Structure formats: structure tokens, C-alpha cells
């Protein structure tokens, strides 16, 4: 465990161990984070709301009472599309300025039951879509942190909090994790409850986690969900399917260069690496996901669109206008494509444990007016499969890049275990 002045660098697993053993006070950890927040937040701007007094009260309650559960005393960043009963939830929209929910989202209630507490609300793009909020990339404030989970990814990368919730409907966990150089974990659809999360797509919205290691996202999500996700050292070397996807034309030179050498790099870790091509139905998955997302988003936000359209910014307003005009028959056809892909995916993977695919087209783009291209995220969000971004390497501007580990639907434990194995071996 680092000294008090460096507690902001500690891993989730080490913090949980020290907090449970009473070797570290929750209040001591919180003060260390406050000091680091003072230094970095004015530039990073990851917080949509931070109530220091309330956070301090919760930390002191942790220190005064019994150890509550496996997440005892852990401060968590929470994307501001997730309802919190004790802090405003504004969904990145002026429509909901100072909006105070009456209840916690289900995942927040479970998190508190396990002993953790909300440090603050993290910036989101408007309704987890667009346009972006004020958050900057911690590695270079002139570049986007990605979105829509911009504050969650940037806050973890800037060490303002050790772990954070994000959501993904298209690419809102994996892409900002890539741009900010942290681990992002999008679980299999439904692993964590989305009750109390502002709905954008009722068949795609997925609650996930950011941290600085695979071990940390696995420990946090396992404790929260009650599933055996904690990673352990494995003796068997993984079998990897090296998949450029049908969308590799979107890759920029830094990702093309990375993937030109990555298979050999992974092979040197001892892993078995074979090229893998997705079956023909997957060539339509990105278009299907885009249609389903636009169709469902317009319906999920139909009340805001009808009663508050003057407070909705472009390009979201235009997307809602066109989304409501989309034909249900085309939506049904897109859903049929998704069902077929889900049915064949596990068998199509053959004996591969996971697939290795790009996370984003390249490093974080310059500018804060957009959050990047989700070309390498749409398929896996529609598929409902678990995805883990593993940081590895840098682009021409010195910003992080990496790759995505994709597993079979529901096979989250193995997906996390392989991602952990790769992160450990590639760091050496």
C-alpha cells in the first residue's frame, strides 16, 4: 500500500484488502483523493457533481461501523445517467438541471449494500449520446476523452477515483477506455441491472466498469453481481482468435501498425494466435446496431423530445426527429440480424477462448466537439458479448491505444481471465 500522499495510485484490490483489515481508514483514502482532485480536476473536468461533505460523511460512517461487505469503504465514480438518491442526476441535459431522484438505481443500491459509496457523479454526454460535456483527455486536454462515459474514463485515468461505473449502448465504455488508457469492461448484456439508469436503448444499454487493471474491474463487478469473476493466475495459455473485423478500413495508421505486429507480440507471450474471420451475417451488424439504437433512442426520449425539444442540442435533436420516423418493419429486420448472430457466435468461435479485435480506430482525436468513431464497438454491443479493453501502446501524439478482448455471450469469467493474463504478460 502506498503512502497516504500516493493513495490515489493504489489498485482497487489493494484498497479493499486494506480497508477490510482496518489497515486503512476510508476517511484517509478520501482525503488523499480530494488532494489529487484539487490538482487535476480543474483541467480534466471529470465531475458533474462533487459533494465533499457528503462523501466525507459516508467515509466516516464506514470507519465507525462494521465492515459491511466486499466493497467496504470504496469510493466510486458514477456516470451521471445513473440515479442516485443523495446526489443530483442530470443526464448531461439542461432539462434535468438539479434533478434529484427519489431512489438509487439498482446497481447503486447493491453497491452500497456491499459497502461502497458514491464519491461523485461523472460527466456524461447529453443523455449518453451527444454532444459532449466539458471533460478533457487526462493525457492531453486538447483531445477528447471519448464518450459517452467521458467523466468516468477520464476520472479513473487521472486517478481521481479508483473505479467508476459507465454505460455502453454503442461504444461508450470501450472507446473512452481506449482513448484514456484505462481498462474498460462491458459485461454481457444484463450482468448488472440497468433499473434506474436513464434508458437510451432497451435492448442494448449495458452497465459496466472502468479501472486501471483487469483484476480491479473483475473484483468490483464480481462483488457487485455475486458472480465468480475475480481473476486468478492460470497455467493454461489462452487460444486467441485474431480478428480485424469487416470494419478495419476505419483503422488509422497507429492501429494498423499495432495490429500488424500484435499477433507476433501475443504469440511471444505463449498464447496460441490464429487469424479469425467473422461469418457473413456479421457484415450487417454495424448497420443493424445503428438502426436499432436510433429507433429505440427516439422512443426512449420521446417525452423529452415532445415537451422539451428547445432544450435538446444538436445533433441529438435531429437524430430524435429522424428516429421517430424510422419504420418498425426495418427495426424488426435489424433485430432478426442480431438474433441470428447471437445464435451462431459461440459455435463460430470454434476452439478460440476469445477474440482480439480493435477497440477504436486510433488514439483520441484532437478537439472536444466529438467523441470518436464507434466502428469497432457496434457489433459487440449488439451481440451482447463481454468486452474488455486492454491498454497497449501509444499513437503518434503519445496518446494511449490498445485492443479489445471479446468473449462468448455469458462467458465473462473466461473473458476477464484471458484479458488479465494478457495484461500481465504484455507488461513484462
DSSP letters, 386-401, are: -EEEEEEEE-TTS-EE
Q: CB of 416 within 8 A of CB of 371? A: no
The residue ranges of the chain whose pLDDT is under 50 are: none
| Distance (Å, whole) CA 338 – CA 201 | 14
Nearest partner of 360 among 147, 210, 141, judged by Cα: 147
| Distance (Å, whole) CA 223 – CA 99 | 29
Residue with grid cell 457496434, as numbered in its chain: 378
For the annotated catalytic residues, the residue numbers are: 79, 148, 172
Q: Retrieve residue 146's grid coordinates.
A: 471519448
Looking at residue 51, the DSSP 8-state letter turns out to be: -
| Distance (Å, whole) CA 399 – CA 377 | 20
Q: Count CB-CB contacts under 10 A for residue 233.
A: 8
pLDDT (0 to 100) of residue 235: 63
Pairing of strands 387-394, 400-406: antiparallel
- Please list the residues that pair with 405 across neighbouring strands: 356, 388
Rg (CA), the chain: 20
Q: CB of 135 within 8 A of CB of 172? A: no
| Distance (Å, whole) CA 415 – CA 380 | 13
| Distance (Å, whole) CA 356 – CA 273 | 9
For 1-428, which CATH class? alpha beta
- Alpha helices (H) in 160-310, listed in sequence order: 174-180, 214-225, 253-267, 285-300, 302-307
pLDDT (0 to 100) of residue 2: 74
Residue boundaries of the structural domains of the chain = 1-428
| Distance (Å, whole) CA 133 – CA 378 | 22
pLDDT (0 to 100) of residue 308: 98
Q: Count CB-CB contacts under 10 A for residue 349.
A: 21
pLDDT (0 to 100) of residue 148: 98
DSSP states of 351-406 as a string?
T-SEEEEESSSSSPPBBSS-----TTTHHHHHHT--EEEEEEEE-TTS-EEEEEEE
Would you say how long the chain is, in residues?
Answer: 428
Quick one: CA torsion of 248, 252, 255, 261, rounded to 10 degrees? 80
Q: Retrieve residue 10's grid coordinates.
A: 493504489
Sheet holding 164-168, edge to edge: 47-49, 117-122, 75-79, 164-168, 206-211, 183-186, 387-394, 400-406, 354-358, 239-242, 272-275
| Distance (Å, whole) CA 303 – CA 343 | 35
**Residue 197: phi, psi to the nearest 5?**
-105, 130
- Report the b/e string of 241-273 with b at 16+ CB within 10 A: bbbbbbbbebbbebbebbbeebbeebeebebeb
Instruction: Estimate the crossing angle of helix 214-225 against helix 412-427, to 10 degrees.
Output: 160
Vertex 32 angle, CA 166 and 398, to 5°? 55
Residue 193 burial (10 A CB sphere; 0-12, 13-18, 19+): middle
Cis peptide, bond prior to residue 131, ω within 30 of zero = yes
Cis peptide, bond prior to residue 144, ω within 30 of zero = no
Looking at residue 142, the DSSP 8-state letter turns out to be: T
> Measuring CA to CA, how many Å separate 90 from each of 104, 222, 306, 385?
14, 28, 18, 29
Amino acid at each position: 500500500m502506498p503512502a497516504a500522499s500516493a493513495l490515489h495510485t493504489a489498485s482497487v484490490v489493494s484498497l479493499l484488502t486494506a480497508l477490510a483489515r482496518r489497515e486503512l481508514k476510508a476517511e484517509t483514502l478520501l482525503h488523499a483523493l480530494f488532494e489529487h482532485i484539487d490538482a487535476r480536476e480543474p483541467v480534466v473536468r471529470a465531475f458533474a457533481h462533487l459533494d465533499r461533505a457528503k462523501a466525507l460523511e459516508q467515509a466516516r460512517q464506514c470507519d465507525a461501523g462494521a465492515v459491511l461487505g466486499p466493497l467496504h469503504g470504496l469510493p466510486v465514480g458514477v456516470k451521471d445517467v445513473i440515479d442516485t438518491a443523495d446526489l443530483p442526476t442530470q443526464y448531461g441535459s439542461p432539462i434535468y438541471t438539479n434533478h434529484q431522484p427519489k431512489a438509487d438505481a439498482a446497481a447503486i443500491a447493491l453497491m452500497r449494500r456491499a459497502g461502497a459509496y458514491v464519491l461523485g457523479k461523472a460527466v456524461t454526454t447529453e443523455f449518453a449520446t451527444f454532444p459532449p460535456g466539458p471533460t478533457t483527455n487526462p493525457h492531453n486536454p486538447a483531445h477528447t476523452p471519448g464518450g459517452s462515459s467521458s467523466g468516468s474514463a477520464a476520472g479513473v485515468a487521472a486517478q481521481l477515483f479508483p473505479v467508476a461505473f459507465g454505460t455502453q449502448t454503442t461504444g461508450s465504455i470501450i472507446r473512452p477506455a481506449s482513448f484514456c488508457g484505462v481498462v474498460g469492461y462491458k459485461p454481457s448484456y444484463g450482468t448488472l441491472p440497468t433499473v434506474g439508469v436513464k434508458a437510451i436503448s432497451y435492448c442494448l444499454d449495458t452497465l459496466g466498469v472502468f479501472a486501471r487493471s483487469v483484476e480491479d474491474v473483475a473484483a468490483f463487478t464480481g462483488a457487485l453481481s455475486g458472480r465468480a469473476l475475480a481473476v486468478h493466475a492460470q497455467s493454461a495459455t489462452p487460444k486467441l482468435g485474431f480478428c480485424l473485423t469487416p470494419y478495419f478500413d476505419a483503422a488509422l495508421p497507429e492501429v494498423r501498425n499495432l495490429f500488424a505486429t500484435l499477433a507476433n507480440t501475443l504469440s511471444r507471450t505463449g498464447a496460441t494466435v490464429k487469424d479469425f474471420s467473422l461469418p457473413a451475417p456479421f457484415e450487417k451488424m454495424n448497420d443493424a446496431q445503428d438502426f436499432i439504437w436510433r429507433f429505440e433512442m427516439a422512443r426512449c426520449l420521446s417525452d423529452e423530445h415532445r415537451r422539451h425539444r428547445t432544450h435538446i442540442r444538436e445533433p441529438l435533436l435531429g437524430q430524435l426527429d429522424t428516429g421517430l420516423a424510422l419504420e418498425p418493419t426495418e427495426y424488426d429486420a435489424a433485430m432478426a440480424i442480431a438474433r441470428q448472430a447471437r445464435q451462431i457466435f459461440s459455435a463460430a468461435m470454434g476452439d478460440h477462448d476469445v477474440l482480439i479485435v480493435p477497440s477504436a480506430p486510433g488514439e483520441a482525436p484532437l478537439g472536444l466537439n466529438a467523441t470518436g468513431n464507434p466502428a469497432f464497438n457496434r457489433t459487440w454491443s449488439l451481440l451482447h458479448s463481454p468486452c474488455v479493453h486492454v491498454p497497449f501502446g501509444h499513437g503518434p501524439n503519445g496518446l494511449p491505444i490498445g485492443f479489445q478482448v471479446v468473449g462468448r455471450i455469458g462467458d465473462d469469467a473466461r473473458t476477464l481471465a484471458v484479458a488479465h493474463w494478457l495484461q500481465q504478460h504484455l507488461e513484462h
